[in-house]
Structure 1
């Protein structure tokens, strides 16, 4: 499903409004993880009862201090006393002996990724921050436990995510358009009530409610990928409430569907070429040199459009295989697995590529799906008034395919043109004037959020400092770079901002 692939786990965005939000200090009902309702205005933390552990981990929780809760917020901020929805929260209490610095709120990207699940799984990588902060995350509205957007059953989702994008002929276009129409209608059928309200501005208002409920005067925040968009909108809506804010792998909220699609196509193609060069240096299982390896991958993709590989009772289509390749390009650490997955597929074994694709689109082993691929378009499409015509979508695809036959696609515009909820440009312009200093970190070789977006967002915010990472992968803070981690931790823990223009070498 590469029509939205170049963005999943990052979404674009659209900006922010200067209209006043509903005051965050208004009392809100809360619920513990076990479901007990409590007094309004506070969060009552309890045991986490519904976090799904990775299959590779023991079923018993190793860290019994982890706590969950729920926070009620208005469905529609224009009617703050009306219907509520409940945000699912998670807390990893501070574990160090030093002075506690309060709470640090995380959004790991998407939109569609569960903050509850991701923080639980990322705990070991955040030990330094946890020594001084309570680490907090949440499922934003429209995601998983927070009235998650649903768009069909397993069979319907399987059909949508497995669509081929090649060859780019009229038959492929016809199937894609029909699938987009069906998917949008299913989203309306299953989640129509929430679709108009899942935009980033409302999510930012939710986050200020969370800040107040945590008892924090300022919001300390780490946003990654789409989380940078949420953070930028928050800083525009509530500049005086910004504490220490890190925006890692940033989005440029001003880009159009076409600009975003072409920039991300270039980014994935560049990273794919880096993967091929790295592969052939030490004897590559998919080809003797870059040209040979690329030719073999191209041949595989073309063959899959004619005859998918059987993986159990499922077909590995060209669309799923392309998704699997892109998924492995997010981190240099997964390149060896991608090499093996492609080598297996060239020999007729598609299980590893299917695994990569499933991990990307949020398909669980039991066939159910997370909200990654449903909340993503829901937020993307409501976050902009842009609704491209069919001719504009086709022009975008043609331009993207010239950049990369492997990653070129029509982008998110193809689905948003059929979206049932109205879009808004309320968030197109971000400006954090009046906020505390914000740290933006951009990676030179980030495939999903191209580096040029980092200086652009930095300039738009007006209160931000840019740190550049010269390595590979999507996101720098958790990339393994000691330079990046050291500078970021110095800022988040001690308030020491890196010098403007600071650069960290590849890890």
Structure 2
């Protein structure tokens, strides 16, 4: 079953598997005990199953260690004196000395549903320059990882759930898909009813403002990737005067409904697939998965059609189904670094072996090599359904299928049917789309990538416009993948570093290639 995924954090798992509130300034947290709490930083434990499992984070290259702590936050921000939950934090202290230190730079890597506590160490070296003047800090948002995680199905049930046919072709298959979706959502209510009403992006934005205070900063210094750009925009809307320096990379279009967002992703993933096919067939060496871009895509379409009728062996004892293969292909398009795995996976699959494509699909769904799932899928659905007011049924999807198929012959059906994910969800959605209007906020650097599959480039300008006049500063990276700063492009890195370290945003409209 596909879900509306904006996961940069899934790249971590892939590497392992393959080696609504009102606008304006809001008051500080109403519970003064929470704003004055002292964090107890200690050596980080091994990640929990909900965080994805695996070993404790390795020391940084300079020998410094990652430190973890838990911050108390209100369960219900409408009742700040009531029950609390723990928000898991991680940090690497600044390497440049106290005299050069600006404050804490808080990261959110997207999802929604990705664990920042596990993702920041995996990508920490990419941000070494920023660490010279900041403590690098990330967190598991509420509902994620170690922060009151949403729980739905168990591992064995999830194996079956992700094997189902997520692109139904007739009434019986449509009914079965709805039944499975309702069962998943009912399990979320059974196991997580207490947290489900309180995982909206506005709740997490308020957690970040509490975090800012507890970390001792007058302003929020922030780096948001993918869904993290939406979270950053919501924070800027609620607390415009408290924004310090903020970077939004791989930008979510804040003006879109869920339907429009999914259609945009269909177009984005199709563009990325087109670019992959062109790249593969334009190399000096023969492309092993097709003779021309069209041949590559035609063969992929035939593979998916064949898998619907006859799955092939995947990772024992599971088989590679059409749904799993589509998810695996999508996962490989998040970064150009994974195109080689897509080529190898397709070669294998054409020979009847689905191992690599299934490993990629597992990464998308948060499954590790031991068969344990993180709670990324559960949290993704819970946060999206708490945020998004629209609810769709099978008739809605059928009416929109022609548009989705026109947008992407490969991913159209997959993403159209994902609109059913909030069927019978126990909590009402907050709004048609997030409010990020932030008059009075300082400049926010908004970075878009022209070949981004998951957050298409067009959303960059939409975010700039939605933030309001004089706030968003647009930077374009002409390249591939989901996220520009970690692409290795020096122009992008120098622009972001110059802004975050020295307060010098690049000229609006700057283009890097």
**Separation in structure 1 between the aligned mates of residue 485 and residue 322 of structure 2, nearest angstrom:** 33
CA distance 1:59–1:27, change in 2 (3 Å):
closer
Structure 2: distance between partners of 1:60 and 1:470: 33
C-alpha contact 2:449 2:479 (8 A) present in aligned 1: yes
User: Does 2:349 match 1:345?
Assistant: yes
1:200 aligns with 201
> Contact 2:53–2:368 (CA<8 Å) still a contact in 1?
no
Residues 166 and 302 in structure 1, CA contact (< 8 A), matched pair in contact too: no
Residue aligned with 2:110, SS? coil
Change over 3 Å in CA distance of 1:479–1:9 after alignment to 2: closer
Using the alignment, how far apart are the partners of 1:470 and 1:162 within structure 2?
A: 36
1:218 counterpart = 2:224: no
Change (3 A) 1:279 1:493: same
- Alignment correspondent of 2:17: none
Equivalent of 2:44 in 20, 31, 48: 48
Q: Deviations over 1:60-107 (max 9, x none)?
A: 645552110000000101111111000000011111357111110000
Partner of 2:67: 67
Give the structure 1 partner of residue 14 of structure 2. Answer: none
Pair 1:366–1:27, CA change in 2 (3 A): farther
Counterpart for residue 327 of structure 2:
323
Tell me: CA distance 1:74–1:5, structure 2 relative to 1, closer, same or farther (3 Å). closer
1:93 aligns with 2:93: yes
* 2:439 is the alignment partner of 1:425: no
Structure 1 residue 482: deviation in Å?
0.7
Q: Which residue number corresponds to residue 102 of structure 1?
A: 103
Checking the alignment, whether the CA contact within 8 Å between 2:150 and 2:379 is kept in structure 1 is yes
Deviations 1:9-37 (A, max 9, x none): 59xxxx7632764523744469xxxxxxx
TM-superposed deviation, 1:411: 5.1
Deviation at 1:397, TM superposition (A): 3.2
Q: 1:346 to 1:426 in 2, by over 3 A?
A: closer
Residue 344 of structure 1: how far off its partner (Å): 0.6
Aligned length: 491
- Which has the higher mean CA deviation after the structures are superposed, 95-104 or 319-328? 95-104
- Is 1:382 the counterpart of 2:386? The answer is yes
* Change beyond 3 A, Cα 1:190–1:54: closer
Query: Taking structure 1 as reference, are residues 329 and 161 closer, same or farther at Cα in structure 2, changes over 3 Å only?
Result: same
CA–CA distance in structure 1, aligned partners of residues 113 and 209 of structure 2: 20
- Tell me if the contact between 1:321 and 1:353 (Cα under 8 Å) persists in the aligned partners: yes
- Alpha carbons 2:202, 2:234 under 8 Å: kept: yes
- In structure 1, runs of 5+ residues without a counterpart are 31-39
After TM superposition, list the pairs within 5 Å mapping 1:73-222 onto structure 2: 73-97=73-97, 99-166=100-167, 168-222=169-223
3-state secondary structure, aligned to 1:288: coil
CA distance in structure 2 between the aligned counterparts of 1:67 and 1:211, rounded to whole angstroms: 17
CA deviations 1:199-245 (Å, max 9, x no partner) are 00000000000000000000000000000011000001111110000
- The equivalent of 2:367 in structure 1 is 363
Mapping for residues 473-484 of structure 1, pairs under 5 Å: 473-484=481-492
Tell me how far apart the structure 2 counterparts of residues 384 and 490 of structure 1 sit (CA, whole Å): 36
**Counterpart-to-counterpart distance in 2, 1:331 and 1:308:** 27
Name structure 2 gaps, 5 residues minimum. 10-19
Distance 1:202 1:56, change over 3 A: closer
**1:356-396 CA distances to partner (integer Å, 9 max, x unpaired)?**
11111100122111121111111111112212243212223
| CA positional deviation for 1:166 | 4.1
Pairwise CA distance, 1:480? 1.2
Aligned alpha-carbon RMSD (Å): 2.2
How far the C-alpha of 1:314 sits from its partner, in A, is 1.0
1:261 CA drift (Å): 1.4
Contact 1:381 1:423 in 2 (8 A): yes
State the alpha-carbon separation in 1 of the partners of residues 171 and 274 from structure 2.
29
- What are the superposed Cα offsets for residues 437-458 of structure 1, whole Å, 9 maximum, x if unpaired? 1110111111111111110110
5, 10, 18: which one pairs with 2:23? 18
SS across alignment from 1:441 = strand
Cα distance change of structure 1 residues 355 and 196 upon mapping to structure 2, 3 Å threshold: same
Cα distance change of structure 1 residues 289 and 391 upon mapping to structure 2, 3 Å threshold = same
Summarize deviations over 1:159-178 as a string: whole Å, max 9, x none.
Answer: 22222234633333222211
Q: Specify which of 438, 452, 466 is matched with residue 460 of structure 1.
A: 466
| In 2: Cα distance, 1:120 partner to 1:433 partner | 34
Distance in structure 2 (CA, Å) of the matches to 1:353 and 1:206: 37
Q: Which residue of the partner structure matches residue 262 of structure 2?
A: 261
Residues 28 and 287 of structure 1: is their aligned pair in 2 closer, same or farther, counting only changes over 3 Å?
farther
The aligned residue for residue 488 of structure 1 is 496
Does the residue aligned with 1:65 lie in a helix, a strand or coil?
coil
